[in-house]
Chain A
Amino acid sequence: MFPEILEFGRKGFADELLRGAAITLLIAVSSFIIGLVLGHIGAIAKLYGGPVSRGIAAIYTTVIRAVPELVLILLLFFAGTRGISALGEAVGYGPIDINGVLAAILVLAFVQGAYSTEVIRGAIQAIPVGQLEAARAFGMSPLQVFRRIVLPAMLPNAIPGLANLWMVVIKDTALVSVTGATFELFTATKIAAGFTKRYFLFYFISACIYLAMTLVSNFFIQKLERRLRRGQQELG
């Protein structure tokens, strides 16, 4: 049915590709979540922070969005490890080993954080000021205002932008293959293609796997958005 090279097990590359896809998802999910946390911190710093935190957030989003991810990955993986290891030793953790997966997650999360800062900031600013004033008038603490008003009102606005970022981070994981040390989907594809010399076949298969990841996540994002927008009037 299938040519031997597409079988599972010792003779085929199906299991290698699947393992690569799993690592791709691990990198994408982890960096997206960490990026979301950084994005919230960044957005709050930009909107409510004092001059210092505003400045730091501005530098962060400007610099990170300006430097190509590829450069950041190479910088962290081949040059940054010593700095992080020294930092680890300084706080008594011993040397920290930055493997390919961890370097990928750190870099992509850092990049995602910068972009989601802007998405979340925009979504928060789209909330009518009156709603926040009303919440404050009821005596809610800033944290309560954030949890009860800002978060639920901002999320529907943020979802389309964040969904974009999720698509981008899935594809950005392929950049990590430049280090050759991380067995994500694109590295697995290159190994399979290089070993069998069937370049078109394996690049096509991996394109299909990336497409499948996108289609499946689109389905869930749509469901999530519909739930978050419940009670809202539909346009038209």
Chain B
Amino acid sequence: MATKTDAPSGRAPARPGRRGWTHRRREYLAGYLFVAPQLAGTALFVIVPLALVFWYSFHEWNVLTGSFQFTGAENYERLADDPALPGVLAATAAFSIGLVVLNLSLALALAVLLNQKLRGTVLFRTLFFSPVAVTLVAWTIVWRFLLQDDGGVNGLLSAIGVDGPNWLRGETTAMIAVIVVQVLKNVGLNMVLFLAALQGVPKELYEASTIDGAGSWTRFRRITVPMISPTILLTSIITVVGSLQVFAQIDVLTSGGPGTSTTVLVYYLYQNAFQFHDFGYGATLSVLLFAIVLVLTVVQWQMRRKWVVHEN
């Protein structure tokens, strides 16, 4: 995560002599000292590893054989020819699109519903937010049991006369299951962000539009959505980035299967680096992931001028 820090305002009226210069130096020093811990942390844990990943991606590094050899662009050529990669990218896209669409629409719908002054809204807000506080792996393991062929989900379905599928063993149902489990886990966070944004929309706007004869759908489309658009931008960026980093859910629920239908990019990267002992190619896949996340984030950031209020 990048941190934006304003440069210290060293633009004080220039005073002649040594005193002014010292004052300015002091301000600079104070500024640097304030950002130093963050900068050191970022450098050590973000920039250095990032640079190392790039460096490793030009090497063949097999831990078992102890080989670490510079191979130039060989890993990138392999990436271009990797027969498994199109399937992996397709699974990643299916997961990300499914997750982002379902997560954001559900979070917004819940936020709008729970923003009403009705009895029990606090209870429901707590209910939908509580999975966010649950450990990810524990949450996923419980769902693995629920999604078994003879598990809780199919038990409920059979109670209403529906013969449920073997969720985690069908290619499509496994992908749906992984997406839904992840959405239920994290939808509460986006919901809370949307709720905060909704409560910041001035009431006068709604009152004025009601007087003008606008219906509730028009008010939602013309007032609510534009007014909370900065939050929509924020949630969509963090959800897209988060969706591309999904790992534990895949590992616990499907291990990338059935077949390779839920082998998303991060899981494929993990397999190559940590299971197949091929850290060089794993690093190359990391660079690809980094590039995808970067491009998507930049595109979303650029698009904000088009649709985010206050940005044009």
Partners in one complex: no
Residue ranges of A at the interface with B (Cβ–Cβ < 8 Å): none
Residue ranges of B at the interface with A (Cβ–Cβ < 8 Å): none
